Structures are given as C-alpha cells and as structure tokens.
Chain A
C-alpha cells in the first residue's frame, strides 16, 4: 500500500514564525500536492509538483512556498505564519500518467493531515 507520511499531526506556531510542513511518500510517485482544508470551504489546492525541482501554483498559493529537492519529499513552507493560515494541511501523491494508454487518472493518495494552529 502507498504510504504518505506527514511529519506532524498537530503543530502550534506563533505569528511571524517560519514553518515547515514535511511530506514523504514511499511509492516513487512523480506527482505531489499540498491542500488545505477549512470548515465550509472544503479542500483547496495550494501547490503541486510533477517532478523534482518543479512546482506549480494551485488556487491559493499566496503566503506559501514549496520545495521538492528529492522525489519522495515535498515540503510546504510558510515564510511568516499568520493566524489565517491556521488550518488542516493535507499532502497527497500520485503516479504520473500522461500517455494515450494511461490517461490522467491515477488516484491520489493522501496523508492523514497536519493540523496547524498559528497563535
């Protein structure tokens, strides 16, 4: 089974701190994603990556950056944490599929999330 591991289940940080959320997957997946989930707003995509050192902005990238130095690891960085970044953060990975034989439908595998509180 694919395992996506997020480094912390719960995290409490102060406003202005630099915060690193780490995600590791063990299935050699090319694609990795960061979402945040808030009550009433559902899951929203922050950033994603198709390969090492590649990154693409999602729907809400402001205030975040990412790093993909190794294929198995995708880090989400809050340069200066703010209270409106208090949320559940979910990491996911999937196999790259971009051929006529295998269309873009590889399932996403999610971690169990990191609940970040910024005070």
Chain B
C-alpha cells in the first residue's frame, strides 16, 4: 500500500469545523482512501472512505483532491468527544489485489479545546 503523510498533531476549538489533511502523492488508481480514528482507551473505529468523489456520512465528510494526491477529513463541528488519533490509510481495492489488511501509520492527534 502507498504511504500517507499526516501532521503529528492538531488543535481545534469546540464547535468549530476541523480539517484534517492527508498527503498521498504516490496513490495508485485502485487505492481507496480510508479514515479511522482511535478514541482514548478504545480500539480504532471506521470513519469514512472514498475513491474519487467527495463523501459524506453521519460522522464526517471526506474531500478528495482532483489529482487524488491529497485528501481532507472534515469534522463539521468538533466536540470534546472527537478528541482522538485520526489515521489516513490507503487500501488497494483492485480485484486482483487480494484481501489485504490495513496498514496504520502514526496518525494525527486531534485535541479539542472547550
């Protein structure tokens, strides 16, 4: 799987939007962009994933650059419960890629200030 680069940490004020960036300049045509987050003392949880188009779900939005070399996870209104480590992961979705596991990087530690 191709590599991603994320800032080590970010800070946000409560109830403000948060934009978490991820660079993946070596992304291939069949790589999907996945985001997971890990709250303190819990296992990681799935947030969202996409291929080319922007995606929205109840947790967040995913904005993907036109050239797909970067993406941004958007939390529309940060709450204290959103404080977590956020992981951006590329996963080959090609039919012949095999059912490969996720490879986690270091992620971005998001702090939310009340």
Contacts and interface: CB of A to CB of B under 8 A. Distances in A.
A43 B44 contact: yes
Interface stretch (A13-21, A63-71, A76-84, A94-102): A94-102
A104 B93 contact: yes
Given A42-B107, A104-B91, A105-B93, A97 B99 contact: yes
A104 B100 contact: yes
Chain B contact residues: helix, strand, loop or mixed: loop
Contacts of B34: 105, 107
A50 B42 contact: no
A97 B97 CA distance: 11
A118 interface: no
Nearest to B103: A45
Contact of B101 (A48, A90, A110): A48
Contacts of B105: 42
Interface of A: 4, 31, 33, 35, 42-45, 48, 50, 58-59, 90-92, 96-100, 103-105, 107-113
Given A104-B100, A112-B43, 7 more contacts: A48-B101, A91-B43, A92-B43, A104-B92, A111-B43, A112-B41, A113-B42
20 contacts: A42-B106, A45-B103, A50-B99, A59-B103, A92-B44, A103-B30, A103-B93, A103-B94, A103-B95, A104-B94, A104-B100, A105-B34, A105-B49, A105-B93, A107-B49, A108-B36, A108-B44, A109-B46, A110-B44, A112-B43
